[in-house]
Amino acid sequence: MEILGLLDTLEAIILDSAKLPFTKKVMVDEDKILSIIDKIRLVAQGNPGSKVIGVGAEKARSEAAEVPEMSERSREESKAVEVIEQAYQMAKEIREGADRYADEVLANLEATSSRILRTIKAGRDRLTKTTQAGAEK
């Protein structure tokens, strides 16, 4: 089925994605993931299944033969929905982890910048005092 192929592709993208250090999280290409999810939706919408209607024995037999296939399709669609939900949850966790990491990096940068600015100010103050003392002599 086409949905299984798309799910395999989705799984491959997740498994091949770059891992975030010290976590079980990965960074994925959002556009690729969303594109595959859209394709899964299109395939699922294109296979809505049909109902058996009493309009003739032949049609009823052919539709009855499709019941196992429809059941399989329904299971695949349920599995696809589950995978999509997991992918969205994973993406949310990845974004949150990336935000936390970015905040830590920015906090460290802020602290380092503050120390550097204090050092510069102290150096300028010392230079100003030295210059004023030299001018007074």
User: What phi, psi does 34 have (nearest 5°)?
Assistant: -65, -35
What does the pLDDT look like over 61-88, one tens digit per residue? 565 566 566 566 677 778 888 889 899 9
What is the pTM for the complete model shown?
A: 0.40
Integer Cα distance of 122 and 130 in angstroms: 12
Which of 44, 50, 34 has its CA nearest to residue 4?
44
For residue 75, the enclosing domain spans: 2-136
Farthest-apart Cα atoms in the chain, separation: 117
What does the pLDDT look like over 1-43, one tens digit per residue? 588 888 888 888 888 888 888 888 888 888 888 888 888 888 8
Which of 75, 65, 56 has its CA nearest to residue 1?
75
* Structural domain count, the chain: 1
